[in-house]
Each structure stands twice: as C-alpha cells, then as structure tokens.
Amino acid sequence: MLILLAGIFVLHIITIILLLVATIDNAWWVTDSISTDVWARWIFQNGVWNITELPTGSNYPTDYLQAVQASSVLACIFSSIGIFVFAAQLFTLPKGKRFTISGIFQFLACLCIMIAASIYTDRFHIKENGNYGHCFILAWIAFGLTFISSIIYFVLRKKTAERN
C-alpha cells in the first residue's frame, strides 16, 4: 500500500508541474517568429525575443482569453490544494473516507484545464498559420493525468472502504 501511495503522490506532483509549466511558459501557439501564450506574445526581431501585448479584436476575444487564464490558474490551485489534502487525509481521516476530497480537487483541476485548452482550441488562431506549442500539448497531457489521478483516488477510497 505504501508503494501505491508513493506512486500516487509522484503522479500528483508530476501533474502539478505540468499544469504550472503549461500555465506559465510561453508556447501555446508558435510560428517561426512568434510565440504566444495566455499572458503575452513574444516576437523574434533582430535576433532577440521581444515581449508584446496580446492582440485584441475579433480574432483574439478578451473575454475568452480571461476564461482561459482563469481556468488555467484554477487548475494549478485545485491540484496544489489536492496534494496538501492528500497528505492531510492520510493522517486525519479514517479508512474509507481518506481520498474523496483529494479526488474531488483533482477532478476540479481536470475540468479547469480541459475548459482552458478547449476554449483556446476553439477561439484562438483559427485562421492563422502556425502550430500549437508544447504548453498547449502539456495542458492536454495534464488533463489526462489529472483525470487518471482523480479516478485512482476514487477507486482507492472504495477499496479501502471495502476492507473495513
């Protein structure tokens, strides 16, 4: 059981790292001379990357951008709270009730990052030439890992409840 708990803890830490990198780093959309994330845009000019504001207008709607930003940050917060709740539950709650709250926080993080990546996919860079960057891909990988993690928490709770 200790190895399983350590594995879940490591999976949770990896998920938090992926969520933070996806939220903070600057590569949700990339071209040869532009790298864009949910916070700013970098333009490569004269051999130097220069930070600029994100474009505005109908191609870059601010309300959707704010939804992506908020959802990404909430995913990081929920997953971080989930790891602390996981550690606290191990020592405070009886068997059978231990992993429910951690699973709920991971599921909320899963929903938030899915919402952020889905909105970004649907509303931004629709008719532009370029590719989705590594942060966008990491956001989808983090979605999968948070979903798997939340399912593991719920299954683990049920298994510990059956042993009682």
Burial of 45 (0-12, 13-18, 19+ CB in 10 A): exposed
Asked if 68 and 38 count as a contact pair (C-beta separation under 8 A), the reply is: yes
| pLDDT for 127 | 80
Tell me the β-bridge partners of 131: 30
- Cα dist from 123 to 38, 62, 83, 85, whole Å: 12, 10, 32, 35
Q: What confidence tens digit (pLDDT) does each residue in 5-35 have?
A: 889 999 999 999 999 999 999 899 999 999 9
The residue range of the domain holding 84 is 2-163
3-state secondary structure of 92: helix
- For residues 140 and 94, which has the higher predicted lDDT (pLDDT)? 140
Neighbours of 88 (CB within 10 A): 13
Q: What is the CATH number of the domain that holds 45?
A: 1.20.140.150
For residue 158 the two structure tokens come to: 């049920």
Distance, CA of 110 to CA of 5 (rounded, Å): 20
For the whole prediction, is pTM greater than 0.85?
yes
Residues ≥6 apart with Cβ < 8 Å to 147: 107, 110
Mean pLDDT of all residues belonging to the chain: 89
Domains held by the chain: number: 1
For residue 80 the two structure tokens come to: 């971080």
Q: Give residue 99's pLDDT band: very low, low, confident or very high (50, 70, 90).
A: confident
